[in-house]
Amino acid sequence: MSLYKEKHIQYIKSLDTKHQDYSYWLTEHLRLNGTYWGLTALCILNAKDTFVKEDVIKFVLSCHNEDGGFGAFPQHDSHILSTLSALQILLIYDSIDELPSIDKIVEFITNLQLPNGAFQGDRFGEIDSRFVYTAIQSLAILGKLNEKVVKGAIQFTTSCQNFDGGYGLGPGAESHSAQVFTCLGTLAITNRLDLVDQELTGWWLSERQLENGGLNGRAGKLPDVCYSWWVLSSLAIIGKLHWINFDKLREFILSSQDEITGGISDRPDNQVDVFHTIFGLAGLSLMGFENLAPVDPIYCLPVDVSCKIKRWPYSDTI
């Protein structure tokens, strides 16, 4: 089965032209995240210039708030998730210097960290291990990690590990593939993968593959294309990518494409969306499929972009 590259490019390009659609406005709270998903998918398809760089940067900066964070859309409250998406987009376009105040962004992020090392997503207080990863990657992009933040993040992340090798959204929470990715990502960025039981975690991740080749998020659940990223990237981080049957997973992802409109869905014959399109393509990239641009399993960015990020520990902290 083929990858419909041109159709996927046209599908992503069309997403910001549907202003009359009810669904367009229902997803306003995901607009900045969606821009990152679409742009990164285009990068993987070697079609980065499909979007107009200046228009994208203008939109990103319009989402910046006085508290230093970014909202998902202009005049939306700041959130750590949309803040990371904004920084990832600007990094892809080599435009971090367009930010009005890096120190203000750093202040917004670090103020969300709690005494136990966890991070809130915003001022309203939701706590989740993915917010730790989001904060750590954001600070890494800015080159502003510090010992206090890193120590707390490692402490909280390791407390989320379960007896089965997986990680949950908090201490004692059920293991989930997406949380495994965020926790391993945090430990990779902070240079502490030595704290991971890599054999046990690799076993738990490899158990996510089902008979039809797809991957699920936890035991007893249906396969979903997005886990092609969460599971494969996690295995790549710990050097066990070969523990998955590539042929069967590729077939599952490719069968989830819409050959008419382009785009990829969560599983065959369902409605496509940009979320599953990016993570399906990223999964295919990790498997080295059809000359797709390589993607960094730690940052979910093209490797020619992630290489710009300063690695921890910084030379002046050693």
pLDDT higher than threshold 80 for residue 23: no
Q: What pLDDT, in 10s, does the model give residues 114-161?
A: 999 999 999 999 999 999 999 999 999 999 999 999 999 999 999 999
Question: The domain containing residue 82 runs over which residues?
Answer: 5-313
Give the model's pLDDT for residue 315. Answer: 86
> Is there a domain that residue 318 lies in?
no
Per-residue pLDDT band at 258 (split at 50, 70, 90): very high
Which tokens go with 12?
């992503």
What is the predicted pLDDT for the residue at 26?
A: 66
Question: Is residue 41 domain-resident?
Answer: yes
Contact 180, 230 (CB under 8 A): yes
Helix (H) or strand (E) segment spanning residue 131: helix 129-142
What pLDDT, in 10s, does the model give residues 59-93? 999 999 999 999 999 999 999 999 999 999 999 99
Number of domains in the chain: 1
Would residue 16 count as lying in a domain?
A: yes
Q: How far apart are the first and last CA of the chain?
A: 50
Cα dihedral sign for 185, 191, 196, 202? positive
- Residues 7 and 261 sit within 8 Å (Cβ to Cβ): yes
Query: What pLDDT, on the 0 to 100 scale, is given for residue 144?
Result: 98
Q: With cut-offs at 50, 70 and 90, classify the pLDDT of residue 1.
A: confident
Whether the per-residue pLDDT at 203 is higher than 90: the answer is yes
So what's the pLDDT on residue 29?
76
Residues 6 or more apart in contact with residue 231 via CB below 8 angstroms: 177, 180, 181, 205, 208, 209, 215, 244
What's the average model confidence in pLDDT over 297-318?
93
Q: Report if residue 274 sits inside a domain.
A: yes
Distance CA 297, CA 187 (A): 13
Pairing type for strands 301-302 and 295-296 reads: antiparallel
- Overall pTM surpassing 0.75 (yes/no): yes
pLDDT at 132: 99
In this prediction, residue 21 has a pLDDT band, given cuts at 50, 70 and 90, of confident
Residue 98 lies in a domain: yes
CATH number of 259's domain: 1.50.10.20
